[in-house]
Structure 1
């Protein structure tokens, strides 16, 4: 990746893209080591997306990742149906956990889409598991 290809993005996205380009996917040893060395604020910048936390699949549509958005929407609907049969506290816990998972995967998914050209349906590609 060169700087001209990411110059259309905000400095925050450029920082994230450069980090992913330098150290690879979140499931690689190089990423994990470099991530541990970052200050807390930069860890949040690289690994967490607040818009995705609150707006989930809608934010993915806004970013242009419609395939991944449809995948997240489908899983969200299935989860909503499943937790409707469970106590409310379980439903809230699953909802919070699901929102956090989407927030933690969005930045790398966007990198794959915009920099690497991966337009697949898997929003969790390259994650830690």
Structure 2
């Protein structure tokens, strides 16, 4: 993960993530990426797969990063999920668990979505773009 050219204007953490995605694709998408991912430290694995700001701010984080389409999908998903939980009169435990669904989606998809947005010029509405098996 030392090849950082082409991302000079980005902060170092984004440069490292983008270099990994450029070289290997998503972690566990191929045998090579799986081995490279296993060789990373725990902290590097967390920085590659999780985005704390995405978790804390959800759709707003996507809007700020310029991925407004995906942010809008997350916002509508949050509203729809809240309407279902409230409308069904779900118990408190289910209500609390459901409140973590959208932040968890934002946290786990933000890094690769931003890579696709910046490097590949993606304008997709699909929050899961590129995350499926190849």
Give the TM-score normalised by structure 1.
0.90
Correspondence 1:120 to 2:112: no
Structure 2, gaps ≥5 residues long: none
Q: Tell me which residue corresponds to 1:52.
A: 54
Partner residue of 1:103 out of 101, 107, 110: 107
Counterparts in 2 of 1:31-42, with a 5 A limit?
A: 31-42=33-44
Partner residue of 2:74 out of 72, 75, 94: 72
> Does the CA contact (< 8 Å) of 1:57 and 1:73 recur in 2?
yes
Give the TM-score normalised by structure 2.
0.87
Q: Name the larger-Rg structure.
A: 2
Classify 1:34/1:2 alpha carbon distance in 2 versus 1 (closer, same or farther; 3 Å): closer
| Bigger fraction of residues in helix | 1
Q: Tell me which residue corresponds to 1:8.
A: 9
Classify 1:26/1:127 alpha carbon distance in 2 versus 1 (closer, same or farther; 3 Å): farther
Q: Tell me which residue corresponds to 1:91.
A: 95
